[in-house]
Amino acid sequence: TQLLEQSPQFLSIQEGENLTVYCNSSSVFSSLQWYRQEPGEGPVLLVTVVTGGEVKKLKRLTFQFGDARKDSSLHITAAQPGDTGLYLCAGDRGTSYGKLTFGQGTILTVHP
Amino acid sequence: DTEVTQTPKHLVMGMTNKKSLKCEQHMGHRAMYWYKQKAKKPPELMFVYSYEKLSINESVPSRFSPECPNSSLLNLHLHALQPEDSALYLCASRERGTDTQYFGPGTRLTVL
């Protein structure tokens, strides 16, 4: 059972456009991480959100954690080709061993 | 420093070979993880070590054998693998407090 629905799965846009990626669940998460991954490399942490309603900004990236801590979004302003990659959301339900629930991933391609 | 290192970067092995993957972190994290990842898919949890003890085995075949010699090191011993085991193998460690997992760069494994 997929507990974290991530959408869209594929996104192909032109440089300068804005985009939003969503992760939704019926489960409550104690924390949620967003990662960016390039082919053949490990996921690189972008942000961790832990408080309901929290908004964090990382340059052109804005992350939001839903009030009920069941959903999250990633918004990129003025996308650049360097933003191309696989974006993953991963929620921690607060279990003892930190087992993460991953979204299916969003493959973003930004064309020059 | 939030670095997890993995060696080797690439590994090609035959189905009768025995090899090992290595992971190291010096962040004092007491939970460490092995994941398997296929192209353009999210990572799949294989094993969790907590305080050097195996805490979760996600029904992984016995041809994969994990080992945690100390709090900084994690190994994955491979024996008699199948071609379908070819994948990117990721190691991660978890930070207490934020519960954030930091991933290594991965080992690209090809089984011939």
Span A30-46, pLDDT tens digits: 999 999 999 999 999 99
Contact B100/A33, CB-based, under 8 Å? Answer: yes
The reported pLDDT for the residue numbered B34 is 98
Residue A65 has pLDDT above 70, yes or no: yes
Nearest residue of B to residue A2, measured between CA atoms: B42
Q: What's at A101, amino acid-wise?
A: T
Q: In chain A, what residues touch B105 (CB-CB under 8 Å)?
A: 41-42
The reported pLDDT for the residue numbered B1 is 62
Where does residue B44 rank: exposed (0-12), middle (13-18), buried (19+ CB within 10 A)? middle
The reported pLDDT for the residue numbered B98 is 83
The reported pLDDT for the residue numbered B3 is 92
Mean pLDDT of A5-31: 97
Chosen from B99, B107, B109, B110 to mutate, greatest number of chain A CBs within 10 A: B99
Residues on chain B bordering chain A, Cβ-to-Cβ distance under 8 angstroms: 2, 4, 6, 31, 33, 39-43, 45, 48, 50, 55-56, 88, 90, 94, 98-106, 108
Contact A98/B41, CB-based, under 8 Å? Answer: no
Q: In chain B, what residues touch A88 (CB-CB under 8 Å)?
A: 42-43
- DSSP-assigned letters across all residues of B4-67: EEEE-SEEEE-TT-EEEEEEEE-S---EEEEEEE-TTS--EEEEEEETTEEEEE-S--TTEEEE
Residue A7 has pLDDT above 70, yes or no: yes
- Bridge partner list, B77: B20, B65
CA angle B107, B110, B112 (to 5 degrees): 160
The reported pLDDT for the residue numbered A14 is 98
Q: HSE on the CB side for B78, CA within 13 Å? A: 23
Q: Calculate what percentage of chain A has a pLDDT beyond 90.
A: 91
Q: How confident is the model at residue A2 (pLDDT cuts 50, 70, 90)?
A: low
Alpha-carbon gap: A104 to the closest alpha carbon of chain B (Å) = 6
How much is the mean pLDDT over chain A? 95
Sequence-ordered strand ranges (E) for chain A: 5-7, 10-14, 19-24, 31-37, 44-49, 55-58, 61-65, 71-76, 85-92, 100-102, 106-111
Q: Which residues of chain B have pLDDT under 50?
A: none
Contact B103/A45, CB-based, under 8 Å? Answer: yes
